[in-house]
Amino acid sequence: MVAPFHCRACGSTDLAVVLSLGRTPLANALVTPSNAGRTEETFPLTLVRCRSCSLVQIDETVPPDKLFRHYAYFSSFSDTMVAHAKAIADRLIQERRLGPASLVIEAASNDGYLLQHYVKAGIPVLGIEPAENIAQVAIDRGIRTESEFFGRSYAGALAERGEHADIVHANNVLAHVPDLPGFVGGLPLILKPDGLAVIEAPYLKDFLDRCEFDTIYHEHLSYFSVTALDRLFASQGLTLVHVERLPIHGGSIRVFGGHRTGQAPYDRSEVNRLLAQEQAWGVDKPAVYESFATRVSGLKDSLRGLLGRLKGEGKRLAAYGAAAKGATLLNYIGVGNDTLEFVADRSTYKQGNLMPGAQLPIVPPSKLLEDMPDYVLLLTWNFADEILAQQAEYRSRGGKFIIPIPEPTIL
């Protein structure tokens, strides 16, 4: 008998299915050319909602070592991400008056795309990055980094050796964490009395309202509302003191949390406003989730129909962005090398491999100008402005992009 799934935040087994995407391969498990055509390992991908604490999550946990010890996503390949990181670093340096006696820690620090801005300002840092290949890149760039998974145990070890932070960043990592109380519970152990945890995550309301189903994959275990985060933080002795909505990644939130007794330069007015807004929207009710599932099904039909029609007209089709979200989209709608010729991507770490499931070859962006496909499906639509600007020449020659989310649109 299979044990019931327990909510990652509160432990409840009172869960409702929101959407099933079937069985899919791991979205970042790129296929090497030598393994082309071989059967890939797949896992169920089902989205559920906790009726107790409102956390939306998938009900499958792939071991973190399988997902993150060797990783193919390097944040520095995105100019948008680097600029976004610099903006918050510069802001916090000024607001918190950080200097040589300060310490900034980042959990899931990737290749140092964020911490580099503090280092350049002369502020001590510690990056925590479980992917050993990516941690080494950060180390080679002069960013103090340890290859570990952040949690209560590791945080305790840091505290014992005197590593207490003014700022702890955790950008786009909380969604990857199987033990949410353990991760959040580690934050107060390493925060100074007036320290701030600054956490960014894709926002559940934007995810549902904009039909962003392609952000569902096995690394993204949880999908956060302010309601769920407020309850989670409170359970670990922390207070959300401020929240901001951000356009990045199709709609995100940045939350600021601290010790209940800490002095932060914010009040909870924006937190309370969004909590009230989410209640009015229906964060704890089934209607918005049922509507989302219906719209996802319709989007699948319309995108398959558009690609099929263009292919039937003799048009040549390719894709851009070998990201995890692209793997989810291609595998769910059932499109592969019978429809698309290749996927272009700037990451030299991905080029030469194949997309999981669809097994489309990953090539440099220069291939777009060399081959001039008529249409390019933009899988990394969350960076549309950046990519469209980079591909101005392809577009000037008559090439067109298809934006799939929230509904297929040709540009």
What is the Cα–Cα distance from 111 to 51, expressed in whole angstroms? Answer: 37
Answer whether residue 79 shows pLDDT above 80: no
Distances (CA, A) of 73 to 3, 44, 317, 330: 33, 23, 25, 18
What is the percent of the chain where pLDDT is above 70? Answer: 94
Instruction: Work out the pLDDT band at 409, boundaries 50, 70, 90.
Output: very high
Mean pLDDT of 292-298: 97
CB 126 within 8 A of CB 146: yes
What is the Cα–Cα distance from 132 to 336, expressed in whole angstroms? Answer: 31
Mean pLDDT of 306-316: 97
3-state secondary structure of 201: strand
321-331 pLDDT, tens digit per residue, is: 999 999 999 99
Question: What is the secondary structure of 360-385 as a DSSP string?
Answer: PBEE-THHHHHH--SEEEES-GGGHH
Instruction: Work out the pLDDT band at 73, boundaries 50, 70, 90.
Output: low
Topology alike, domains 68-281 and 288-410? yes
Classify domain 288-410 at the CATH superfamily level.
NAD(P)-binding Rossmann-like Domain (3.40.50.720)
Instruction: Work out the pLDDT band at 281, boundaries 50, 70, 90.
Output: very high
Residue 136: other Cβ atoms inside 10 A = 14
Answer whether residue 297 shows pLDDT above 70: yes
Q: What integer pLDDT is reported at residue 265 of this predicted model?
A: 55
- For the record, the structure tokens of 101 come out as 């006696």
Q: What's the whole-number average pLDDT of the chain?
A: 93
**Is it true that the peptide bond before 406 is cis, omega within 30 degrees of 0?**
yes
Least Cα distance to 323 among 220, 169, 205 occurs for: 220
Mean pLDDT of 385-396: 96
The CB-side HSE value for 197 (13 A sphere, CA atoms) comes to 28
Q: What integer pLDDT is reported at residue 64 of this predicted model?
A: 67
195-248 pLDDT, tens digit per residue, is: 999 999 999 999 999 999 999 999 899 999 999 999 999 999 999 999 999 988
- Phi/psi region, residue 162 (left: phi>0; alpha: psi -120 to 50; beta: rest), is left
φ, ψ of residue 344 in degrees (nearest 5): -90, 145
Least confident stretch, 177-191, 201-215, 263-277, 358-372: 263-277
What is the Cα–Cα distance from 241 to 324, expressed in whole angstroms? Answer: 32
Distances (CA, A) of 352 to 151, 355, 369: 35, 10, 18
Classify domain 68-281 at the CATH superfamily level.
Vaccinia Virus protein VP39 (3.40.50.150)
328-341 pLDDT, tens digit per residue, is: 999 999 999 999 99
Least Cα distance to 256 among 248, 274, 244, 247 occurs for: 244
Query: Domain boundaries in the chain?
Result: 68-281, 288-410
147-164 pLDDT, tens digit per residue, is: 999 999 999 999 999 999
Q: What integer pLDDT is reported at residue 72 of this predicted model?
A: 52
9-45 pLDDT, tens digit per residue, is: 999 999 999 999 999 999 988 999 999 989 999 999 9
User: For 85-153, where are the E strands, in sequence order?
Assistant: 104-107, 125-128, 145-146
